[in-house]
Structure 1
Amino acid sequence: MFPARVLAGAPLALVILALSGCSSHWGCADTTAERGEAGVRVRVEDTSGQPLGVTAEVVDWRLEPHPQVPSEGDQVHFHYRFDGAGETSGPAVDACAVDKERVALGCRTVSSSEAWSKPDGSLTGDDWLAVEHPEQVAGVLMIPNDRSYDRRTCEQDIKDGGGTHPPKPAGRGDQL
């Protein structure tokens, strides 16, 4: 038989184990957010679909050779703008060159923290998208899902991982 002191401490030991995360593998779950509606101007949203108070916009775009690799022919050179984002940290969204049916021809993630501050408080930047058939480009769209933070998965960290993750990055061939 166990002494009364050992039995009296057993519930406390179970509570400590539960709070320490040793039992958290039963509660760790990963989910993926739905991809938001792409547009020229979007309200950036977190993984739960809530607006962050930031907008991202494609200001303009054109086809031209990249100055560092002109021999590769035309690429998509686009300018973007973030309104409501902080200068040193903020959201990142996917920008995609699309054809007339909104099929992605090429995508990349652009971050507000890599843009330059303007006197009006906006952050602006430019980037390039290499596409196989530049003549098919009909526009450049932003996807509103914030890609700046993606927590660890349950597989990576059973104790501290889990939760909702951004959708899979957009890529060539995705219907937007």
Structure 2
Amino acid sequence: MILVLSGCASWDCTDITAERGKAGVRVQVVDTDGRPLGVTAAVVDWRLEPHPQLPSEGDQVRFRFRFDGADAYSNPAVDACAVDKERVTLGCRTIHSTQAFGPADDPLTGDDWLAVEHPEQVAGVLLIPNDQSYDGRTCAVDIKDGGGMHPPESPGRGDQL
């Protein structure tokens, strides 16, 4: 018995990385196609101080953020980066809207820390508008169901925003 499959073609799996949006103190969160999600993320404030669990390591960047328009099911996420006066990244991390469970008078706020080597160089904290919550399969992981548009890579130290 010989089995012949007609009309079968190889899968054409392609991973595409979205273009990184313009960083700012207040951004409209966008999906991988660049469409607004109806969510705004903003840096409320930031300051340098020792982390309470690692005081011997000196000052780090403590920042407060706010997500407006997010719901418990969507959980959008953006990259937050400490930058110098020329917008060069000194340290970044991804923050999720579900981390915003601030005090009763402002439950949409949250706070987090950014570890940087030279805290004296920090001039601000910026957010990148691309939603980082999408965790789709890549072609390398799943040739059949992977591929498509993926969020941009998170910035590394030294990247210009």
Q: So what's the TM-score if we normalise by structure 2?
A: 0.91
**Counterparts of 1:63 and 1:47 in 2: how far apart (Å)?**
33
Structure 2 residue 83 is the aligned partner of structure 1 residue 98: yes
Alpha carbons of structure 1 residues 28 and 164: separation in structure 2 relative to 1, 3 Å: same
Task: Please say if 1:145 is aligned against 2:114.
Answer: no
Unaligned runs of 5+ in 2: none
- Indicate whether 1:72 and 2:57 are aligned: yes
Give distance in 2, aligned partners of 1:92 and 1:72: 28
SS in 2 for 1:174: coil
Shift of 1:114: 2.0
Which structure's residues are more often helix, by fraction? 1
Distance 1:175 1:130 in 2: 18
8 Å Cα contact 2:102/2:110 also seen in 1: no
Cα distance per residue 1:51-98 (max 9 Å; x no partner): 100010000000000011111000000000000001354100000000
Return closer, same or farther for 1:30/1:82 CA change in 2, 3 Å cut-off. same
Do the aligned residues in 1 keep the contact of 2:83 with 2:122 (CA within 8 Å)? Answer: yes
**Partner amino acid for 2:80?**
A
2:145 is the counterpart of 1:160: yes
What is the Cα-based RMSD across aligned positions, in Å? Answer: 2.1
Q: Which of the residues 69, 88, 92 maps onto 1:107?
A: 92
CA distance in 2, matches of 1:124, 1:24: 48
Seq. identity, %: 72
Distance 1:76 1:141 in 2: 12
Q: CA deviation at 1:154?
A: 1.0
Mapped partners of 2:83, 2:63: distance in 1: 13
Work out which of the residue numbers 133, 136, 145 in structure 1 matches 2:121. 136
Structure 2 residue matching 1:116: 3-state secondary structure:
coil
Question: Any unmatched runs of 5+ in structure 1?
Answer: 1-9
Indicate which of 61, 64, 69 corresponds to 1:84: 69
State how many pairs are aligned: 159
Task: Tell me, yes or no, if structure 1 residue 50 matches structure 2 residue 35.
Answer: yes
Three-state SS of the structure 2 residue aligned to 1:135 is helix
Q: Deviations over 1:98-121 (max 9, x none)?
A: 000000000000000222167788
Q: Distance in 2 between matches of 1:148 and 1:81?
A: 16
SS in 2 for 1:113: helix
